[in-house]
């Protein structure tokens, strides 16, 4: 039983990271119907920026977290302006392929600049473990949960309560009508990229603290898994992405705990296939009728 | 019709290859690369990428050996002293790049011998090129059991290595765990995405006299081992065996110690890189043992190692690491092959390497067996607080 509870904790910390990443996927998809495959690499940029602020500028953990979020927001907007904006009115497949190109550019660009070596992330917070009855939780894990929850609440407030959030929601329903109502389309898109990328940057720093190892290819697998999480939750749905992320985290953990560790990635991708076959709009997605 | 077409293709292919062969062998009638005034050694190495830690160490070892040999005037080739020139090329820890780098070194740079790659997968990818170009290649650290053999179990003529086989590491670790650590129950956590991890695991399981209570696998590049470790922790075991490369070993050790796994952790030579300790943290790197061909600790008893370690320290400012020692020996093995054969042509170097006997290197006395595997001793190093504190030599 204690093992099972401990596995829940493990799954929750992994799932929180996937949730933060999946949110970026889902928000961008909701607004401009683009699967931003470069999102995982923005997460990698976040981890590296955190690494440098701590190592060279001697920031504390929160300084690194916030500066990395700001940096990633800027990077996300920059990617949007350079790579996606000129293609806004072209077919969706063009943008999708561009996203893959951006992803390769970021991975190989970072490999060129910083080599493909794995680096150890400077541990600014001394790790402490707390025994909570049958389970053990470390302060880094708690930090991951709390940061994720705060960011989720913040996101919910931004989307539901602010003017910008209302613009985002309007864009998601009907971009043309939103533009006619005087909503600043390109500003709203840039804002969406900024928010999504900032969440990815936060995830990057948290992962760096948690695993103590970062490299330029680190965004690849988590990026794809976060995409699966977004699809599972219903792509375009913000609560769906958060829950999808946690579910994927649990699924991976459970597969490892029953001794099928070699198949944990296969299990995640099997979920993608099953969801697409059985429930293409995901757990929380809107079922829309395709007009022909 | 089909047969005609095929015959046409075959004829075209033959013409092509005849033409290309004509290109590469211009002046000499014999095959392979001939040495000029300098002896060119091609270094096909993991200088960046996931295995760059090993590649950089090996590059240092090679640099040191070449510098020493050239300082003494070079290699004695049938009475004439010739200097060595090492040509370094990065294979980026990738199998495809490794194959193209090997082709570049043999056909463009005209190297008479290749050293590297450091890892089994990248090494295996260069075998066809080496055989075709008739240039011997010596991997300092590719430890997979069948590395030097083809699929039918025949020896690859141009493939050699300077280290022992993986199964030897697995067998030694199994004995050491049972006899010295008194571990009757062992849990294994292995990398199943490399021949290295699977090969050692197989040998360990076969040789271990106690009970293997859990065997779990992961992929290279994984970072989260918490759930595997949690389920292993719930089992009753005396030692944890993790045959993997340093990146994952470091993460596993960190997460295992943080999850409260206090049992001794054993590994193979993949652990002998300082990066592992950096990732794991000094405090977590205690009660850890790994099998390795070399440790700077034996400088106290072996004058050869002590001289090498001093020179390494002077040049690079640290104690000599394992892979540097193996690569250092590799260069001297090529030197000895040239001197016994009295020729620095690639085909002759191959013969010299195959006949290598009682070669005295810093990683022990080495004799090449019929399958191009060196017979040599093995060392087990103990880590305490991130420092190597003790070396056990196993014959």
**Do B78 and B46 share a structural domain?**
yes
Give the separation between CA B55 and CA A72, rounded to whole angstroms: 33
**Do B287 and B214 share a structural domain?**
yes
* Residue B134, pLDDT score: 93
Q: Look at residue A132 and tell me if it is in a domain.
A: yes
Which residues from chain A sit within 8 angstroms of residue B91, using beta carbons? none
Work out the pLDDT band at B340, boundaries 50, 70, 90. very high
Q: Do B258 and A138 touch (CB under 8 A)?
A: yes
Q: Which of B272, B292, B312 is the last residue of a domain?
A: B292
**pLDDT, greater one: A125 or B98:** B98
Q: Which of B269, B292, B315 is the last residue of a domain?
A: B292
Q: Which chain B residue's Cα is nearest to A138?
A: B258
Q: Look at residue A17 and tell me if it is in a domain.
A: yes
**Do B123 and B80 share a structural domain?**
yes
Q: Look at residue B130 and tell me if it is in a domain.
A: yes
Q: Look at residue B254 and tell me if it is in a domain.
A: yes
Q: Look at residue B381 and tell me if it is in a domain.
A: no
Q: Look at residue A84 and tell me if it is in a domain.
A: yes
Q: Which tokens go with A200?
A: 């990815």
* Residue B12, pLDDT score: 54
Q: Does A90 touch chain B (CB under 8 A)?
A: no
Give the separation between CA B158 and CA B348, rounded to whole angstroms: 11
Which domain, by its residues, includes B283? 166-292
Q: Which of B258, B292, B326 is the last residue of a domain?
A: B292
B360-382 pLDDT tens trace: 889 888 889 888 988 888 888 88
Q: Do A136 and B260 touch (CB under 8 A)?
A: yes
**Do B175 and B136 share a structural domain?**
no
- Give the mean pLDDT of chain A: 86
The residue count of chain A comes to 292
* Residue A289, pLDDT score: 57
Please give the biggest Cα pair distance in chain A: 59
**Do B188 and B138 share a structural domain?**
no
Q: Look at residue A11 and tell me if it is in a domain.
A: yes
**pLDDT, greater one: B198 or A286:** B198
State the CATH number of the domain containing residue B170.
3.40.50.2300
**Do B107 and B55 share a structural domain?**
yes
Which residues between 58 and 97 in chain B have a beta carbon less than 8 angstroms from any beta carbon of chain A?
Answer: 92-93
Which residues from chain A sit within 8 angstroms of residue B221, using beta carbons? 217, 221
Q: Do B226 and A111 touch (CB under 8 A)?
A: no
pLDDT at B251 exceeding the cut of 70: yes
Work out the pLDDT band at B22, boundaries 50, 70, 90. very low
Does the bond joining B128 to the residue before it have cis omega, within 30 degrees of 0? Answer: no
**Do B234 and B170 share a structural domain?**
yes
Which domain, by its residues, includes A174? 2-223
**Do B134 and B226 share a structural domain?**
no
Q: Look at residue A26 and tell me if it is in a domain.
A: yes
Q: Does B213 touch chain A (CB under 8 A)?
A: no
**Do B264 and B171 share a structural domain?**
yes
**Do B307 and B158 share a structural domain?**
yes
Q: Look at residue A244 and tell me if it is in a domain.
A: no
Closest CB to B216 among A117, A213, A261:
A261
B272-287 pLDDT tens trace: 777 888 888 888 888 8
Which residues between 319 and 358 in chain B have a beta carbon less than 8 angstroms from any beta carbon of chain A?
Answer: none
**Averaged pLDDT, B161-190:** 87
**Do B158 and B43 share a structural domain?**
yes
Give the separation between CA A123 and CA B93, rounded to whole angstroms: 28
Q: Do A262 and B251 touch (CB under 8 A)?
A: no
* Residue B296, pLDDT score: 78
Q: Look at residue A131 and tell me if it is in a domain.
A: yes
pLDDT at A238 exceeding the cut of 70: yes
**Averaged pLDDT, B154-177:** 87
How many domains, in total, are found in chain A? 1
Give the CA radius of gyration of chain A.
Answer: 19
**Do B266 and B171 share a structural domain?**
yes
Work out the pLDDT band at B310, boundaries 50, 70, 90. very high
Q: Do A3 and B230 touch (CB under 8 A)?
A: yes
* Residue B313, pLDDT score: 92
**pLDDT, greater one: B332 or A254:** B332
A79-99 pLDDT tens trace: 999 998 888 888 888 988 999
Which residues from chain A sit within 8 angstroms of residue B220, using beta carbons? none
pLDDT at B254 exceeding the cut of 50: yes
How many CA atoms lie less than 13 Å away from B113 in the CB half-sphere? 32
Lowest mean pLDDT among A162-171, A188-197, B220-229: B220-229
Give the separation between CA B213 and CA B237, rounded to whole angstroms: 7
* Residue B19, pLDDT score: 47
In degrees rounded to 5, what are phi and psi of residue B90? -90, 125
Q: Does A262 touch chain B (CB under 8 A)?
A: yes
How many domains, in total, are found in chain B? 2
Closest CB to B49 among A10, A116, A129:
A116
DSSP string, chain A: -HHHHHHHHHHHHHHHHHHHHHHHHHHHHHHH----TTHHHHHHHHHHHHHHHHHTS---HHHHHHHHHHHHHHHHHHHIIIIIGGGTTS-HHHHHHHHHHHHHHHHHHHHHHH-S--BPPP--S---EEEETTEEEEHHHHHHHHHHHHHHHHHHHHHHHSHHHHHHHHHHH-HHHHHHTT--HHHHHHHHHHHHHHHHHHHHHHHHHHH--B-TTTTHHHHHHHHHHHHHH-TT-HHHHHHHHHHHHHHHHHHHHTT-GGGHHHHHHHHHHHHHHH-TTTTT----PPP-
pLDDT at A245 exceeding the cut of 60: yes
pLDDT at A18 exceeding the cut of 80: yes
**Averaged pLDDT, B122-138:** 91
| H/E segment holding residue B82 | strand B80-82
Least Cα separation, residue A259 to chain B (angstroms): 6
* Residue B270, pLDDT score: 83
Q: Look at residue B105 and tell me if it is in a domain.
A: yes
Q: Look at residue A230 and tell me if it is in a domain.
A: no
């Amino acid at each position: 039983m204690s093992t099972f509870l401990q596995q829940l904790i493990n799954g929750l910390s992994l799932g929180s990271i996937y949730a933060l990443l999946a949110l970026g996927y889902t928000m961008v998809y909701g607004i401009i119907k683009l699967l931003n495959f470069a999102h995982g690499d923005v997460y990698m940029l976040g981890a590296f920026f955190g690494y440098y602020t701590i190592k060279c500028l001697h920031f504390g953990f929160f300084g690194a977290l916030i500066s990395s979020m700001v940096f990633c927001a800027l990077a996300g907007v920059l990617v949007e302006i350079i790579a996606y904006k000129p293609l806004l009115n072209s077919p969706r497949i063009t943008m999708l392929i561009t996203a893959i190109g951006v992803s390769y550019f970021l991975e190989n660009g970072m490999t060129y600049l910083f080599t493909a070596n794995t680096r150890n992330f400077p541990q600014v917070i001394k790790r402490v473990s707390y025994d909570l009855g049958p389970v053990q939780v470390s302060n880094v894990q708690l930090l991951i949960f709390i940061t994720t929850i705060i960011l989720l609440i913040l996101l919910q407030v931004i989307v539901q309560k602010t003017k910008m959030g209302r613009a985002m929601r309007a864009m998601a329903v009907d971009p043309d009508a939103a533009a006619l109502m005087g909503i600043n389309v390109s500003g709203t898109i840039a804002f969406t990229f900024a928010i999504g990328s900032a969440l990815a940057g936060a995830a990057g720093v948290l992962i760096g603290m948690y695993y103590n190892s970062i490299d330029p290819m680190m965004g690849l697998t988590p990026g794809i898994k976060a995409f699966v999480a977004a699809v599972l939750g219903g792509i375009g749905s913000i609560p769906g992405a958060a829950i999808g992320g946690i579910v994927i985290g649990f699924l991976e953990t459970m597969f490892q705990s029953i001794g099928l560790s070699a198949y944990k990635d296969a299990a995640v991708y099997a979920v993608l296939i099953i969801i697409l076959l059985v429930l293409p709009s995901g757990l929380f997605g809107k079922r829309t009728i395709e007009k022909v | 019709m089909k047969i005609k077409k095929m015959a046409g293709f075959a004829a075209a292919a033959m013409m092509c290859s005849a033409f290309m062969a004509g290109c590469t062998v211009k002046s000499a009638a014999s095959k392979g690369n001939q040495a000029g005034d300098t002896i060119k050694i091609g270094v096909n190495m993991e200088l960046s990428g996931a295995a760059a830690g090993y590649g950089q160490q090996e590059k240092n070892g090679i640099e040191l050996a070449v510098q020493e040999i050239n300082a003494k005037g070079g290699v004695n080739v049938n009475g004439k002293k010739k200097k060595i020139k090492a040509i370094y090329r990065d294979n980026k820890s990738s199998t495809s790049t490794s194959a193209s780098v090997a082709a570049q070194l043999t056909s463009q740079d005209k190297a008479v011998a290749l050293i590297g790659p450091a890892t089994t997968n990248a090494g295996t990818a260069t075998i066809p090129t080496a055989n075709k170009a008739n240039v011997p290649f010596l991997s300092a650290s590719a430890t997979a059991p069948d590395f030097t053999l083809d699929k039918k179990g025949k020896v690859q003529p141009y493939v050699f290595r300077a280290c022992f086989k993986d199964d030897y590491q697995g067998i030694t670790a199994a004995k050491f765990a049972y006899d010295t650590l008194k571990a009757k129950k062992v849990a294994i956590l292995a990398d199943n995405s490399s021949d290295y991890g699977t090969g050692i695991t197989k040998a360990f399981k076969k040789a271990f006299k106690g009970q293997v209570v859990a065997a779990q696998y992961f992929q290279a590049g994984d970072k989260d081992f918490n759930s595997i470790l949690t389920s292993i922790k719930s089992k009753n075991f005396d030692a944890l065996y993790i045959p993997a490369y340093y990146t994952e070993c470091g993460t596993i050790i960190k997460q295992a110690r943080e999850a409260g796994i206090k049992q001794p952790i054993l590994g193979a030579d993949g652990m002998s890189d300082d990066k592992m300790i950096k990732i794991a943290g000094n405090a977590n790197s205690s009660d850890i043992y790994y099998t390795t061909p070399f440790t700077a600790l034996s400088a106290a008893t072996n004058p050869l190692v002590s001289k090498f370690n001093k020179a390494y320290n002077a040049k690079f400012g640290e104690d000599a690491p394992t892979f540097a020692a193996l690569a250092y020996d590799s260069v001297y093995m090529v030197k000895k092959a040239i001197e016994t054969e009295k020729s620095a042509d690639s085909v002759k170097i191959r013969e010299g390497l195959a006949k290598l006997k009682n070669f005295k290197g810093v990683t022990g006395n080495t004799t090449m067996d019929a399958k191009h595997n060196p017979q040599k001793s093995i060392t087990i190093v103990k880590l305490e607080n991130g420092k190597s504190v003790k070396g056990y030599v196993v014959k």
